[in-house]
């Protein structure tokens, strides 16, 4: 079952569990990233974007978040993660 087929059945897609559930069932499990009937399911692909300089990342509340992948060298004394 996919997110779109789940929500078309008037059920709720539980993103972190990758499962389709009734709305009542989501109250009994640690379900994060709930997508309910008539909500838009997230796109499975997001284009990569390179950024040089400062970067601010904010969660997409409408789509219930997303993922961030970071890599690369940090050679300066003031490099830190937060």
Give the alpha-carbon dihedral of 43, 48, 49, 50, to 10 degrees: 160
Rounded distance between C-alpha atoms, residue 11 and residue 3, angstroms: 9
pLDDT at site 21: 92
Which residues have a Cβ under 8 Å from the Cβ of 53 and sit 6 or more positions away?
A: none
Mean pLDDT by 10 residues, the chain (82 residues): 86 89 88 84 66 76 64 62 54
Task: Count CB atoms within 10 A of the CB of residue 3.
Answer: 20
Instruction: Name the pTM for this structure.
Output: 0.51
């Amino acid at each position: 079952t996919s997110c779109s087929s789940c929500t078309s059945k008037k059920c709720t897609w539980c993103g972190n569990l990758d499962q389709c559930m009734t709305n009542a069932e989501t109250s009994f499990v640690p379900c994060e990233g709930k997508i309910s009937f008539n909500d838009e399911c997230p796109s499975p692909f997001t284009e990569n974007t390179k950024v040089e300089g400062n970067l601010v990342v904010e969660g997409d509340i409408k789509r219930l978040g997303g993922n961030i992948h970071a890599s690369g060298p940090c050679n300066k004394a003031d490099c830190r993660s937060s």
